[in-house]
Amino acid sequence: MSIAETMEKRSREFVERYAAIQEQIARVIVGHDEIVHGVLTCLFVGGHCLLEGVPGLGKTLLVRTLAKVLELDFSRIQFTPDLMPADILGTNMVMETPEGRRFFEFQRGPIFTQICLADEINRATPKTQSAMLETMQEGSVTAAGTRYELKRPFLVMATQNPIEQEGTYPLPEAQLDRFFFKLLVGYSDREQLATIVERTTQSKTIEPAKVMDGREILKWQTLVREVIVAAHVQDYIGRRVLATHPEGRFALPITNQYVRWGARPRAAQTLALAAKVRALLDGRYNVSFEDVRRVYLPGLRHRIIVNFEAQAEGIEPDQILLELLENVPESEKGDRHRRQTENSR
């Protein structure tokens, strides 16, 4: 069997297994197809996911359902203002042997799992939120000079309520940058609400079946990274990220007007990996411009920081990114033409 035939076979199997997870999640979660796609994209690239929406939209239920479909260790941490870093990571406890000798033993916290539901993460103080930085970036915990590796795959699925609600704290920028996607969970429509009422008010409880284990997930994560990103698509990704940098070479007028800080290198990595998943799902082994465009908003909306003028005028990051999405050309030649046109005005 040739390399091309092998890749095609593996791609077909990936699509089938991906659809199997979707099918089981859909038994519990009604609608929110793009949100489910985003969560599964994070799963198959090994990235963390931030779900934002008002209470009661099914964010926590979605993460719990995903944990049931996957044969992975699962824990839930309810973030509250009095939660401390040791409540998440663990702490050294004084233990005593039968002979009376005392010693320190590290008691692992709930972060030592494979799927961690960080529920209402923005209700904890910045100090406690920052305790997640090492685990999310390196998949490890350091305590009293000892480094403990977390079991792979390891995913943090966090939920948060909108920042303007009472009793919440803004997530530190360094932590936001460690989330692969930020997904905005909206309201269900009329038909979806009818289905939700029908499913949840009957005596029969619907339970999803387990579909995939950790070893298979790691296999698909490897396959995703084998998808090719051609040089011209890599350049397109780079220019899309650089377009968020105010006063930069590729910045647009809306960037200079409303953006304080642009996206960092993790944004480019995110766009490339997420686009690879989209390409595989379309039966291709190379990333297209359209694949990149489809993941642009969830990959960057939490990575740009707007300035005071944008806040005063109610300009959201998505509005800025949508304009960049329309006006950043696919080639550098097109970029040069755009800048010349702007300079001539």
Same domain, yes or no, for 44 and 141? yes
For 26-64, the pLDDT digits (tens) are 888 888 889 999 999 999 999 999 999 887 778 888 888
Same domain, yes or no, for 170 and 265? no
The CATH number of the domain holding residue 231 is: 1.10.8.80
Q: How many domains does the chain have?
A: 2
Last residue of a domain, one of 187, 207, 239: 187
C-beta separation of 268 from 235 below 8 A:
no
**4 found inside a domain:** no
Same domain, yes or no, for 246 and 177? no
C-beta separation of 51 from 64 below 8 A:
no
**276 found inside a domain:** yes
Same domain, yes or no, for 170 and 98? yes
**330 found inside a domain:** yes
Domain residues for the domain of 100 are 33-187
**8 found inside a domain:** no
Residue 112 burial by CB count (10 A; 0-12/13-18/19+): exposed, middle or buried? buried
**199 found inside a domain:** no
In this prediction, residue 335 carries a pLDDT of 56
Q: Is the dihedral of CA 328, 334, 335, 340 positive or negative?
A: negative
The CATH number of the domain holding residue 60 is: 3.40.50.300
Same domain, yes or no, for 150 and 293? no
Q: Kindly report the length of the chain.
A: 345
Alpha carbon distance 174, 136 (integer Å): 11
Same domain, yes or no, for 327 and 278? yes
For 110-130, the pLDDT digits (tens) are 999 999 999 988 888 888 888
Token pair belonging to 244: 């968020």
**144 found inside a domain:** yes
**158 found inside a domain:** yes
Task: Give exposure, 35-52, as e/b (b: 16+ Cβ within 10 Å).
Answer: bbbbbbbbbbbbbbbbbb
In this prediction, residue 330 carries a pLDDT of 74
In this prediction, residue 163 carries a pLDDT of 64
* SS3 category, 159: strand
Same domain, yes or no, for 237 and 179? no
For residue 278, what pLDDT band results from cuts at 50, 70 and 90?
A: very high
| pLDDT (mean) for 5-15 | 83
**205 found inside a domain:** no
